[in-house]
C-alpha cells in the first residue's frame, strides 16, 4: 500500500467509536495474521534457569519464558499498517521523509511544535535533563520513574515527589492516583525558591504508582500553578493515551470527548514531552523529545547530534520513525485503547476475585501484585517483590518484574537502600500480543502461588551494579 494511503487509513481510525461501546463485552479490534510460537519448559528447567539468572527475571533468556509480562516496552505487536510503513523507510542520513511524517503526527496528536527524535525515552530524558537542570536544582514530579530520576540526578538535580499521598497506598481506591498535591508544590517553592525549580516533571498514567492516571482537572490546576510561577511542565507522555482512556471513563464531563481529543488536551496543558514510543505507539524501538519553546528546541537539536544522531533521525532508522508516526495514530483509536486497558482490567479482576492483593484501582498497562501483603513474612530488606517475581517464573514460566526496593536503588546522599512504600511485582501486558486465555493461565498461576505463599523465603543481593541496579543485580536464596 502506498505510504500516503497507509496514512489515510490510519487517519480514519482515530474516532472509530462504534456500537461495541454499548456492549459490556469487548474484543480485540484486530485479527491475527501471523503467530510466534511459544516454548513450554519444565519446572526443573525453570529452577535451573532462574538460578543461572541470579533470581533476576531481567537476566533470563527469553527462550526460557512462556508468557512474557516483563514489560510493555517495545514488546507490542505492530499492525500491518506499521509494517507496511516500515517498508517505506527513507534511510537518508539527513532529512528523511519519515522524520517529517513523524513531526506531522506529533503536531497532530500531541500538538507540540518542535520534534527531536531519540533512540528511546531515556535518550530524551538525558537531553532535557542536561539542558534544563543545574547542580542543586529540584525537580518535582508525580512519583519518580527509574530512568527519569537517574538522568535528573546525573545532571545535578534532585527529584521531589509531589504525587498525592493516596498513590503510595496500594489499597486506596482514589480514581486519579496520578494527581499532584498542589500543597506539596507550594511547600517546595517556599523552601527552595523558584530559581531552583527548572521544571515540573509530570507523567500521565504513572508507571511506578501502578499505571495510575492524572485527571484533567488536576493537570489544569498544575498548569495554573506553573503559569503563575513561570515554571514549565515537561510531560512524560509515554502512556498518555491510556491515561486519556481513564479520563474518558471516569472524569465527569469527559464521556463525550474522544480519546484523541483528551490526549490533545493533556498535552496542551504542558510545554513539552519526553516520549518512549515503545509503549503507547507500539513500536519495538524509538522515542522523542518534543517542545514548544524555540530556544529549548535549538539547544536540544544541538545536543542530540552529540548523543543520539542527526536531528532528523536521532538514533532511529527512517523505517522506525514511520512506524512511530503510524503508531501514534493507532494509539488514540478508541477500540484499540479500550481493548488494551480492559484486557489489563480482566486479569486484575480475576486476581481480585480470588483475594490476591494487588494495587487498586487496577492500572492501565499492568497488574501490580502487592508483595508486602502477598509475602508479609518476608521483610523488605530481603526483597519480597524480587523473590515473588522469581517464584512466579518457576511456578509457570511467566516473567514479571520487581518494582520495589531493588528498583528504588540507593539514596545518593546516604548510600542506603531507598525503602519505597510500594513493594510491587509488575505483570505488564504488551499491547495486541496475548489473548484472554493467556490472562486466564496467568491468573491461575498467581492464585496457586498465593495459596502456597508461606513456603516462599527471601533473597540476599550478591551483585549490585552502580546504576539502575534492578536490570543486572544478582541474588541468592537466604
Ligand atoms: C513512564 C516511563 N518513562 C520513561 C521510560 C523510559 O523509556 P525507555 O525505556 O524507552 O528508555 C519508561 C520505560 O519504561 C517509562 O515507563
Kindly give the number of the ligand 1 atom that is closest to the alpha carbon of 239: 1
Residue 286's region, left for phi above 0, alpha for psi from -120 to 50, else beta, is left
Three cell numbers written together for 411: 539514596
Is residue 402 within 8 A of residue 469, CB to CB? The reply is no
Q: What is the C-alpha to C-alpha distance for residues 10 and 82, in angstroms, rounded to an integer?
A: 9
Expressed in angstroms and rounded, the spacing between residue 19 Cα and the centre of ligand 1 is 34
Expressed in angstroms and rounded, the spacing between residue 129 Cα and the centre of ligand 1 is 15
Expressed in angstroms and rounded, the spacing between residue 473 Cα and the centre of ligand 1 is 19
pLDDT profile of the chain (478 residues), mean per 10: 47 50 82 95 98 98 98 98 98 98 98 98 98 98 96 97 97 97 98 98 96 98 98 98 98 98 98 98 98 98 98 98 98 97 98 98 97 98 98 98 96 93 97 97 98 98 96 97
Kindly give the number of the ligand 1 atom that is closest to the alpha carbon of 71: 14
Q: What is the C-alpha to C-alpha distance for residues 291 and 110, in angstroms, rounded to an integer?
A: 10
pLDDT value at position 293?
98
Residues that are catalytic? 93, 145-146, 236, 279, 403, 470
Give pTM, 2 decimals.
Answer: 0.94
pLDDT value at position 26?
85
Kindly give the number of the ligand 1 atom that is closest to the alpha carbon of 123: 11
Atom 4 of ligand 1: nearest residue by CA position: 121
Residues with CB under 6 A from ligand 1: 73, 120-122, 145, 147-148, 203, 207, 236, 238, 276, 278, 287
Residue 47's region, left for phi above 0, alpha for psi from -120 to 50, else beta, is alpha
Expressed in angstroms and rounded, the spacing between residue 144 Cα and the centre of ligand 1 is 11
Atom 9 of ligand 1: nearest residue by CA position: 121
Amino acid at each position: 500500500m502506498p505510504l500516503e494511503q497507509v496514512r489515510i487509513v490510519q487517519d480514519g481510525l482515530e474516532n472509530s467509536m462504534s456500537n461495541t461501546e454499548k456492549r459490556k463485552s469487548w474484543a480485540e479490534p484486530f485479527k491475527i495474521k501471523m503467530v510466534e510460537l511459544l516454548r513450554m519448559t519444565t519446572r526443573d528447567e525453570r529452577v535451573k534457569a532462574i538460578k543461572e539468572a541470579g533470581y533476576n527475571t531481567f537476566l533470563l533468556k527469553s527462550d526460557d519464558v512462556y508468557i512474557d509480562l516483563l514489560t510493555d516496552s517495545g514488546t507490542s505487536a505492530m499492525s500491518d499498517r506499521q509494517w507496511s510503513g516500515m517498508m517505506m523507510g527513507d534511510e537518508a542520513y539527513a532529512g528523511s521523509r519519515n522524520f517529517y511524517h513523524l513531526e506531522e503526527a506529533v503536531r497532530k496528536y500531541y500538538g507540540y511544535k518542535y520534534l527531536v527524535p531519540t533512540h528511546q525515552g531515556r535518550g530524551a530524558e538525558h537531553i532535557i535533563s542536561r539542558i534544563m537542570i543545574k547542580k542543586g536544582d529540584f525537580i518535582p514530579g508525580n512519583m519518580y520513574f527509574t530512568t527519569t530520576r537517574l538522568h535528573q540526578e546525573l545532571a545535578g538535580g534532585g527529584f521531589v515527589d509531589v504525587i498525592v499521598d493516596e498513590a503510595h497506598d496500594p489499597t486506596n481506591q482514589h480514581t486519579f492516583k496520578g494527581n499532584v498535591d498542589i500543597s506539596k508544590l507550594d511547600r517546595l517553592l517556599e523552601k527552595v525558591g523558584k530559581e531552583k525549580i527548572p521544571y515540573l516533571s509530570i507523567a500521565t498514567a504513572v508507571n511506578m504508582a501502578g499505571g495510575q492516571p492524572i485527571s484533567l482537572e488536576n493537570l489544569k490546576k498544575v498548569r495554573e500553578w506553573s503559569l503563575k510561577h513561570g515554571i514549565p511542565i515537561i510531560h512524560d507522555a509515554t502512556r498518555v493515551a491510556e491515561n486519556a482512556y481513564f479520563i474518558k471513563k471516569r472524569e465527569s464531563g469527559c464521556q463525550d470527548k474522544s480519546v484523541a481529543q483528551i490526549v490533545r488536551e493533556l498535552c496542551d496543558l504542558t510545554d513539552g514531552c519526553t516520549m518512549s514510543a515503545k509503549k503507547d505507539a507500539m513500536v519495538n524501538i524509538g522515542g522523542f523529545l518534543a517542545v514548544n519553546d524555540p530556544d529549548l528546541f535549538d539547544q536540544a537539536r544541538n545536543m542530540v547530534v552529540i548523543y543520539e544522531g542527526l536531528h532528523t533521525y536521532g538514533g532511529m532508522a527512517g523505517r522506525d520513525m514511520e512506524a512511530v508516526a503510524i503508531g501514534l495514530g493507532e494509539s488514540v483509536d478508541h477500540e484499540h485503547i479500550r481493548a488494551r486497558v480492559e484486557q489489563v482490567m480482566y486479569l486484575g479482576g480475576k486476581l481480585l476475585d480470588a483475594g490476591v492483593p494487588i494495587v487498586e484501582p487496577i492500572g492501565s498497562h499492568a497488574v501490580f501484585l502487592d508483595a508486602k501483603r502477598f509475602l508479609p513474612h518476608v521483610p523488605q530488606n530481603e526483597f519480597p517483590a524480587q523473590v515473588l517475581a522469581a517464584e512466579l517464573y518457576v511456578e509457570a514460566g511467566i516473567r514479571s518484574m520487581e518494582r520495589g526496593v531493588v528498583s528504588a536503588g540507593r539514596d545518593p546522599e546516604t548510600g542506603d537502600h531507598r525503602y519505597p512504600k510500594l513493594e510491587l511485582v509488575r505483570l505488564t501486558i504488551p499491547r495486541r500480543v496475548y489473548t484472554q486465555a493467556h490472562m486466564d493461565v496467568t491468573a491461575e498461576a498467581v492464585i496457586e502461588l498465593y495459596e502456597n505463599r508461606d513456603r516462599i523465603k527471601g533473597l540476599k543481593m550478591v551483585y549490585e551494579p552502580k546504576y539502575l541496579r534492578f536490570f543486572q543485580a544478582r541474588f541468592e536464596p537466604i
